[in-house]
Structure 1
Amino acid sequence: MPSNEQLAEQLDPATTVLLTVECQQGVVGQDSALPELAKEARSSGVLRNVARLVAGAHETGVQVLHAVAERRPDGRGANHNARLFRAAARLPVQQLSGTTAVRVAEPIEVWDEDFVVRRLHGLSPLAGTDVDALLRNLGCRNLLVTGVSANIAIPNAVFDAVNLGYTAVVPSDAIAGVPSDYAHAMVRNTLALVATITTTDAVLACWKGPWRGAQG
């Protein structure tokens, strides 16, 4: 874990963007296509922690970007080159454009100032989407990555962020995967090698500390 001073420097609101990954109703909501993942995200407190971070970002002036995965009803442009995509196409709940399944799930609040970036293909919220260009135009240097899943999308987001030159910061209690202990193993054995690992409380403490005084 970084020191409070190091973390505060990395989380400067002027150069930080908070990314929520696939925190949508059809993934982590009550009527999820992936009920085991939704249960883990909710029962572990991960979804609540993401909501706390989003609220803290809104209060502090940190830009929030919600990355949503969806597909067209006709499936055009979607991937079919992996078992995961083929299985997803057969699920009873589909992440179809314009449906409630692709709306950001409660208790996360979406403000008018937030960006919502939707992707129709692939595994990563960064690769092949508008996210990288938006981050650069916003002056982002540090990307705070939250959401699901630690199995697929979260490591993809972290690796892509690092490859693109951003510093990735991961609150370990704001990401979820299945089985329940998988996220911990992913953080310990993989993400800790390429990202700054922290906690929700530590992030919120930084935003309530030195920057509050500087902005006041």
Structure 2
Amino acid sequence: MERVAVLVMEMQRGVVGDLTKFPDLVAACTRHDVVPNAARLLGTARSAGIPVIHCTAAFRPDRAGSHTGNCPFIVSLLKDPAHMQEGTPAAEVIPELWDGGDLESRRHHGFSPFTGTSLDMTLRSLGVSAVVALGVSLNLGIPGLTLEAVNLGYRVTVVTDAVAGFPEEYARAVLKHTIGLLATRATAATLVEEWK
């Protein structure tokens, strides 16, 4: 029987929470009820014994372990030396989605939660063969997660009402034309009903 885990991408205080530097992304999450949909899904997953893994990003204060000059977006973000620093509140998962029994996979470089982390080994140690992905963003993180998960042999489902990106027209196009080629798409309500 297929073993599933939920991967929560970058739902952190400094990304979509009270310490964000991305107000347009937060507004998109709010318009689409991303956090309430995600919270409902995660609660059901935990009750069903499905592992929840938060895929988070942070930088060390000295930036060791992070390539900081190879990507225009990262160069722009790191003009603020305190951006998403390890050990600060900005790097924490938003409280609405965190539970003490959840796992966390932290990365210090790039946009995918698999490269340079132990996420693949963690999933395999749990016997996982399929992942359900939610979070942000449809610009970079969710496509990166989905593509790498498929390349590693996982079956992927993306929760359509628990993901967001900006501009929203672009995000919806990515969901339809890129994610649709790689993964199954389902709503939180559909998965909640399936896991009850």
**TM class by smaller structure:** over 0.9
Displacement of 1:42 = 2.5
Matches within 5 A, 1:1-216: 15-79=3-67, 80-91=69-80, 94-111=83-100, 113-208=101-196
Distance, in Å, in 1 between the alignment partners of 2:97 and 2:188 is 14
Displacement of 1:91 = 4.1
Instruction: In structure 1, list runs of 5 or more residues that go unmatched.
Output: 1-11, 209-216
Instruction: In structure 2, list runs of 5 or more residues that go unmatched.
Output: none
Distance, in Å, in 2 between the alignment partners of 1:172 and 1:136 is 25
Whether the aligned pair in 2 keeps the contact of 1:32 and 1:93 (CA below 8 Å) is no
- Alignment length (residue pairs): 195
RMSD: 1.4
Whether the aligned pair in 2 keeps the contact of 1:28 and 1:42 (CA below 8 Å) is no
Displacement of 1:39 = 2.1
Whether the aligned pair in 2 keeps the contact of 1:60 and 1:207 (CA below 8 Å) is yes
CA shift digits 1:31-60 (9 cap, x unpaired): 202121122112321122111111111111
Secondary structure at the aligned position of 1:156 is classed as helix
Displacement of 1:92 = 7.7
Whether the aligned pair in 2 keeps the contact of 1:68 and 1:119 (CA below 8 Å) is yes
TM-score (norm 2): 0.95
Q: Report sequence identity in percent.
A: 36
Whether the aligned pair in 2 keeps the contact of 1:55 and 1:109 (CA below 8 Å) is no
Distance, in Å, in 1 between the alignment partners of 2:55 and 2:163 is 14
TM-score (norm 1): 0.86
Secondary structure at the aligned position of 1:128 is classed as coil
More moved, 34-43 vs 59-68: 34-43
Bigger-Rg structure (1/2): 1
1:9 equivalent in structure 2: none
More moved, 113-122 vs 83-92: 83-92
